[in-house]
Amino acid sequence: MKKIIYILFFLSLNVHCQEAKKQKILDPVLVEEIHLICERDQLLRGYILTDKEYLLTKEEKKVLWKLQNDIDDYNTRRFIQIVKEHGYVDSSNSNIESFATYAIFMHSSEKYWEEIRLLIDEEKKKGNLDKSSHGIITWHITGRPEPTINYIPNKENDSLNKQ
């Protein structure tokens, strides 16, 4: 019985150590910078888009969008640099807490799309970027096309086509 307990203990310790290896421990200053980038990503966007009372004039919205686009440009350039230095980081693979880092690339301008595409493809191959984040970033950098559903009917159990 003791042997079984020891084996289970060492197996669980081994699994825990392997999981810990997957987590990148980033410098707290870098974590704070990424946090600020994510906050700036939403800084004016939410305010402009939720202006239901039309408190902003058309010209004010235009100025705010220009400012948000400048912020997005800086964020994109800096996050590309961070990814090149540290790999793609988010809350699933580092000590970053609950930041939607994929949104940084989703709000990038077209001039960065090819560089981002190459970068995220490489990061996905390395295992630093999950399939869903890769997909949503790719959707943006390909011009946000209409989603397509590749429905292949199962002839034996095709309730959609029997109606």
Degrees, nearest 5: CA angle 53-57-62? 120
Degrees, nearest 5: CA angle 20-22-25? 75
Instruction: Give how many domains the chain has, as a whole number.
Output: 1
- The rounded radius of gyration (Å) of the Cα atoms in the chain is 22
Residue 62 included in any domain: yes
Residue 150 included in any domain: no
Residue 40 included in any domain: yes
CA distance 72 to 106: 10
pLDDT string in tens for the chain (163-residue length): 555 554 444 445 444 444 444 678 878 898 889 899 999 998 898 888 887 667 888 898 899 999 999 999 999 999 999 999 998 888 787 777 877 899 999 999 999 999 999 999 999 999 999 999 999 999 999 998 887 665 565 655 555 555 5
CA distance 69 to 109: 8
Q: Kindly give, in sequence order, each residue whose CB lies less than 8 Å from that of residue 42, ignoring residues fewer than 6 positions away.
A: 103
Residue 115 included in any domain: yes
Residue 127 included in any domain: yes
Residue 17 included in any domain: no
Residue 129 included in any domain: yes
48 is in which domain, residue-wise?
Answer: 23-143
